[in-house]
Amino acid sequence: MPATDPNPKTAIRASARETRACAFERFGGRMGAVVTANFFAQFSHPPGVDMAGYWPTTEEADIRPLMTALHQRGHRLALPRVVARGAPLRFLRWHPGDRLETGFGGILEPAAGAEEIHPEVLLVPLLGFDGTGLRLGYGGGFYDRTLAALRKARDVEAIGIAYSDQEVDSLPAGDHDERLDWVVTELGCRRFGRP
């Protein structure tokens, strides 16, 4: 009898990767401009608010145009850097055009010596999300640990960036899952109520 995976999210992740790949093929080239327009139609954070984004990999929604626009509006920006498995992410200062290093999982990160930022707003990549703001990540728990740590210190806004096709009916909730406050897709912005 074949062994079964005890983690219910494993099969969901496999399906979510296929869904995202199809959405990227259909819409990926336009996503950056549309997400930027939708973000600014909803949000007007003052320039003093520090923000963290991510450097998109493969089929993730591209937020580089949004990050550039936020920089032009006076926000200090950061990108995540993995410190170790099981540890929260560090967010290091980033300006458009800065050289990045290949880090954990082949993801591009700022150099280890860059200034650390404690963001008030996080733009978060994902594989899937549901109508309650639960986020399906990649299985490492990095963003859940990071959001939990940041939210202990102060109010932090987590904004998922996704294709609308990445929404699923429901996701299994774990004890340590941190919910998104918003998601921005090519269709617009959607707010969730955090318990």
Domains of the chain: 9-191 (3.40.50.10420)
pTM above 0.85, yes or no: yes
pLDDT at 2 over 70: no
What is the arithmetic mean of pLDDT over 153-167?
96
CB atoms within 10 A of CB 113: 6
State the pLDDT confidence band at 1, using cuts at 50, 70 and 90: very low
- 40-48, long-range: CB < 8 A, 24+ apart: 40/69, 41/188, 41/189, 42/182, 42/184, 42/188, 42/189, 43/189, 45/75, 45/121, 47/73, 47/74, 47/75, 48/74
Cα separation, 148 vs 144, in Å, equals 6
User: Could you tell me which residue, 79 or 104, shows the higher pLDDT?
Assistant: 79
Q: In 74-96, which positions are buried (b, 16+ CB within 10 angstroms) versus exposed (e)?
A: ebbbbbbbbeeeeebbbbbbbee
pLDDT at 13 over 50: yes
